[in-house]
Structure 1
C-alpha cells in the first residue's frame, strides 16, 4: 500500500477524478481517498512515480506521505 499527501481535494468529484486517474493506469488498483486527512492510499502494482504522475495530471499537488 502506497500513501500520498494530496492537496486541493475537497469533494466527491475529487475522489472520483483521482480514483479514475489511477485506475486508468491499473484497472485493478484499490484507491482509498481520505478528504479530511488529505491522503490517498493506493494498492497497485504501479510504481509510486506512475501514481504520482496520474494524480498530478488531474491538477492536484501530490507528494509521497
Structure 2
C-alpha cells in the first residue's frame, strides 16, 4: 500500500471535491481518495506507486491543478 498527499488548487465546493475524487479514483491501483476542501489536501492510497504525472493528469481532467 502506498499513500501520497498532494495539494490541489481551485477547489471551492463539494462538487469540486467529488470531481477530483472521481477522476483520481479511476486510476488503476487507486484504492481510496480523501479530499480536504479547506486545505486542498488530497490523500491518495494505492496498491502500488502512482506517478505524480498520472495524478496531475487526472486532476487536470477534473478541471483543477496540482500545486507544485
1:36 to 35, 38, 50: 38
Q: TM-score, normalised by structure 2?
A: 0.78
1:49 pairs with 2:53: yes
Q: TM-score, normalised by structure 1?
A: 0.81
- 1:34 deviates by 0.5
Structure 2 Cα separation of the partners of residues 41 and 8 of structure 1: 16
Look at both structures and tell me which one has the larger radius of gyration over its CA atoms. Answer: 2
Name the count of aligned residue pairs.
64
1:59 pairs with 2:63: yes
- 1:61 deviates by 1.6
Deviates more, 1:41-50 or 1:21-30: 21-30
Unaligned runs of at least 5 residues, structure 1? none
Unaligned runs of at least 5 residues, structure 2? none
Structure 2 Cα separation of the partners of residues 54 and 25 of structure 1: 8
Structure 2 Cα separation of the partners of residues 20 and 33 of structure 1: 11
